[in-house]
């Protein structure tokens, strides 16, 4: 019987944003292959109950409250890692002498106490954290947050250089991060994001609007939305729906002033999928290079045309399924062109996505790496 500890930076349900989507669907895919999973979660608040979707895919679940000591901002260890440390976690890991998969560098502080223990260590690298926090700092308008993110980026620069050498394998999300990891050590392996989609939906030739969806509490998504709003303000003949359950008041007010743009809350997964099915084009923009965004898979599996900029993915097979714009004018032209074009790429997407990007294939690759000895 194959067994695995997984240390998650948060409780992986509901799978509502990029990193936690990867954790949840990875656990599910590994469990489907027969791996017994001992799940450890750092949380702000310990949930009153464990959702059956998580319970059914795990053998044991342990919770640890993140530390909320403001003095940890002054630690040389990145704040996100410093708050995720627990003696209780160390004791629970020792109950089962099996490999450990760390979800993100922010869960790896405990390695200092594990070095003499009998565990093989693996890392799912969710970001080049130095570049990620630099990007957050650049996109953030709040001056204090901008400084905090910049300091966190500097801390991660030394932290990841030291940490990345300590794992038997590092599972990277993107080709770019794989190359960067190889500059520190020779243990990088490319396994794209787990996304939970299985079958490409076969849709008819026309949708009725363009769609932007995302978590608008994140500065990068806010910046991307403002760019998208500006584009559609200059194209009043085309309709845009903005789908988000985390829209701040300033965004709501801005959208309310524009006749061809509507804000729709994401109430359930089913409501989001209905929005995908009725969309003619999806607008996906980012100002951070951090691997293939999970929202790209959601759009490619469930909707029609997908218009992206260069930061959404660096996977050449996925880029070929999209319309790439490297400038605002190129993106604007794609919006105009797709509006009068018929969508007929169902079969092409099925071949590429179901063959090369299934969660099952990714889980098999991880199992072969972790349990090869």
Q: Are 235 and 261 in contact (CB under 8 A)?
A: no
Residue 133 lies in a domain: yes
- The pLDDT of residue 324 is 97
Same domain, 158 and 265: no
15-19, 60-64, 354-358: range with lowest mean pLDDT: 15-19
Same domain, 144 and 27: yes
Same domain, 192 and 246: no
Same domain, 220 and 95: no
What residues pair up with 279 in beta bridges, in sequence order? 209
pLDDT at 112 > cutoff 70: yes
Same domain, 180 and 229: no
CATH number for the domain that contains residue 146 = 3.40.50.2000
Residues 6+ apart with CB under 8 A from 97: 118, 119
- The pLDDT of residue 116 is 66
pLDDT tens, residue by residue, 68-81: 898 998 999 999 99
Host H or E run for residue 263: strand 261-264
pLDDT at 206 > cutoff 90: yes
Residue 155 lies in a domain: yes
Distance between CA atoms of residues 93 and 97, nearest Å? 7
Residue 204 lies in a domain: no
pLDDT at 63 > cutoff 70: yes
Residue 201 lies in a domain: no
Mode of pairing for the β-strands spanning 279-284 and 169-172: unpaired
User: Which residues span the domain enclosing 332?
Assistant: 209-355
Same domain, 165 and 77: yes
What is the average per-residue pLDDT within 228-246?
A: 94
Same domain, 165 and 230: no
- The pLDDT of residue 115 is 64
pLDDT at 205 > cutoff 80: yes
pTM of the model: 0.86
Q: Based on the structure, what is the number of domains in the chain?
A: 2
Q: Which tokens hold the place of 181?
A: 């990891």
């Amino acid at each position: 019987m194959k067994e695995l500890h997984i240390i998650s930076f948060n409780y992986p349900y509901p799978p509502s944003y990029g990193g936690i989507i990867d954790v949840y669907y990875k656990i599910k895919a590994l469990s489907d292959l027969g791996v017994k999973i001992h799940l450890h979660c750092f949380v702000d608040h310990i949930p009153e109950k464990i959702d059956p979707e998580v319970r059914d895919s795990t053998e044991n679940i342990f919770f640890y409250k993140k530390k909320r000591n403001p003095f940890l901002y002054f630690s040389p260890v990145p704040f996100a890692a410093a708050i995720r440390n627990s003696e209780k976690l160390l004791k629970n890991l020792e109950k089962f002498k099996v490999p450990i998969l760390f979800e993100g560098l922010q869960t790896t502080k405990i390695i200092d106490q594990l070095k003499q223990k009998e565990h093989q260590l693996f890392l799912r690298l969710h970001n080049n954290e130095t570049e990620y926090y630099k990007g957050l700092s650049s996109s953030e308008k709040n001056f204090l947050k901008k400084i905090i993110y910049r300091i966190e980026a500097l801390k991660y620069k030394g932290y990841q250089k030291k940490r990345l050498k300590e794992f038997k394998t590092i599972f990277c999300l993107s080709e770019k991060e794989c190359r960067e990891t190889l500059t520190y050590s020779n243990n990088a392996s490319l396994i794209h994001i787990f996304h939970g989609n299985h079958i490409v939906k076969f849709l008819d030739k026309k949708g009725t609007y363009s769609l932007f969806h995302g978590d608008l509490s994140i500065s990068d998504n806010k910046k991307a939305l403002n760019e998208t709003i500006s584009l559609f303000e200059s194209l009043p003949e085309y309709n845009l729906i903005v789908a988000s359950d985390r829209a701040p008041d300033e965004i709501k007010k801005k959208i309310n002033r524009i006749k061809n743009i509507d804000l729709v809350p994401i109430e359930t997964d089913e409501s989001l999928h209905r929005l995908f099915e009725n969309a003619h084009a999806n607008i996906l923009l980012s100002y951070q290079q951090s691997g293939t965004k999970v929202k790209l898979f959601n759009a490619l599996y469930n909707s029609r045309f997908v218009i992206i900029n260069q930061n959404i993915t660096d996977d050449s097979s996925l880029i070929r399924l999209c319309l790439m714009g490297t400038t605002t004018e190129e993106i604007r032209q794609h919006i105009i062109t797709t509006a009068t074009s018929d969508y007929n790429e169902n079969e092409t997407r099925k071949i590429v996505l179901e063959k090369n990007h299934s969660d099952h294939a990714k889980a098999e690759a991880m199992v072969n790496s972790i349990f090869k000895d």
